[in-house]
Amino acid sequence: MKLSTSILSSLFFAALACADGEFNVLSFNVAGLPEILQSNGESLDKTTATTQIGKKFSELRDQLDVIHVQEDFNYHATLYKYDDHPYRTATSGGVPFGSGLNTLSNYNWVDFSRTKWNKCSDASEYDCWTPKGFTHMRMELESGVYISMINLHADAGTEDGDETARDSNIQQVADYIDSWATDEAVIVFGDTNSRYTRTDDNISVFSSQNGLTDAWVKLIRNGVAPSKGADAIMCSNPSTTNNCEVVDKVFYRSSKFVTLDATAFNYVGSDFEYDNDTLSDHNPILVNFTYTVSDDFRTSELTGGNYGEVFFNDINSLTDGSHPTKLSFRGAKRLDNVGLTLSSGTVLSHGGSGGDLSELTLADGEYWTKATLCTGTKSGTLRNFYISATTSKGNALSAGSKTSDCTSYEAPSGYQIGGFYGQSGDNVDQLGFIYIKT
């Protein structure tokens, strides 16, 4: 199978001169509900269609970096049998047990989770028959460079109950981003079952609340979304134009640490056909991105597990010229708290109040340059048990209980450790370091 010239050129687009890297994402509802429940009006039987989807994913593996699939229910084994992406989520099951959401990727990730919708409706579809919802992961493009990626499949239909449930779904994701992707670069892509032209759909909340940009609106609509109440801009399947709207969408935003730029948007249904038959009733969406890491900041990889009650990120507290003047750790059996005081007077603290307090005041011209984290298991989950800090003048500070599983970090040349990000509750369950210039 060979990509069409227009799509091929978009996949191998010329990166911006200042970009550090490039990647692409594909969103594809693979129509994997059992045939007895929904035929989707497609000519091919679903086993054959899913087989061909998996084969095409494999054929294009080097050109398809991150794939989010929806409705990956009862034909999941077939899809994975023929795909060979190196990183793939484990299925949560077919109907009625699974959400149908999975990810296939050329990059590894951390912090994978599944969340069920708070509301669903069977007013016109079978949305309450499965635990539909959304997934979240931090995709690692390179060491310490994470992008929060969310895959979703919102409630379908246009009955009153459908609209109420779908608006609740979209709002649930928006609120989740505010809590669990604080100050992070984010890409949300999947089947929103929403259209801008529908009066009762709230898809614009991703822009108004979370500061996300719709790649289609930016690249195809010159930044102007269709108006509510306007006629729907329907697409054929496969679509012969990008200037039409489907319910599958790709939203994104940058952060203070990494800048994302969507550079190409394409409906690629014509590249997912078999014997001139479409493989799904949805047009798959391909969006290409460049990313640029800020010269002012670097971040370490995360250590620990996806267990904390809150996600924290200090990056927006780190202003130009500020630097740590005091380090404060608490620990006993495990690492209970990490904190520091900045030269601006800002105090950063994450975790609980347990354990013994250890503090170190830094002299003028002294920087925190090295750290060690040790992990262990509690209640079946990975946690941070120990931290040590070493400064540019050789002074040291530690807290918690050292284990045999330790990782050392050192600020790059010209940088110092200036803040934290991760997850915490009563303890510091997950921790990464933010490096700032000395």
Q: Where in the chain is the domain with CATH 3.60.10.10?
A: 21-293
Write the DSSP assignment of 346-402 as a string of letters.
Answer: -EEEEE-S-SEEEEEEPPTT--EEEEEEEEEEETTEEEEEEEEEEETTS-EEEEE--
pLDDT of residue 125: 81
Nearest Cα neighbor of 373 from 381, 361, 382, 385 is 385
Bridge partners (DSSP) listed for residue 220? none
CATH class of residue range 297-437: mainly beta
| 29, 153 contact by CB (below 8 A) | yes
Q: Where in the chain is the domain with CATH 2.100.10.30?
A: 297-437
Tell me the C-alpha distance between 254 and 315, whole Å: 13
Q: For 168, phi and psi rounded to 5 degrees?
A: -65, -40
Return the number of other C-beta atoms located less than 10 Å from residue 34's C-beta.
13
Q: CB-based contacts of 335: which residues, under 8 Å, 6+ apart? A: 329, 351, 355, 373, 383, 384, 385, 386, 387, 399, 400, 427, 428, 431
pLDDT of residue 19: 75
Bridge partners (DSSP) listed for residue 93? none
What global pTM score does this model have? 0.94
Q: Are strands 186-191 and 145-152 parallel, antiparallel or unpaired?
A: parallel
Annotation: CATH topology of 21-293: Deoxyribonuclease I; Chain A (3.60.10)
Nearest Cα neighbor of 314 from 323, 306, 305 is 323
DSSP SS3 for 146? strand
pLDDT tens string, the chain, 438 residues long: the values are 234 434 433 443 433 345 799 999 999 999 998 876 666 667 899 999 999 999 999 999 999 999 999 999 999 999 999 999 999 999 999 999 999 999 999 999 999 999 999 999 999 988 999 999 999 999 999 999 999 999 999 999 999 999 999 999 999 999 999 999 999 999 999 999 999 999 999 999 999 999 999 999 999 999 999 999 999 999 999 999 999 999 999 999 999 999 999 999 999 999 999 999 999 999 999 999 999 999 999 999 999 999 899 999 999 999 888 999 999 999 999 999 999 999 999 999 999 999 999 999 999 999 999 999 999 999 899 999 999 999 999 999 999 999 999 999 999 999 999 999 999 999 999 999 999 999
DSSP SS3 for 9? helix
pLDDT of residue 319: 87
pLDDT of residue 300: 97
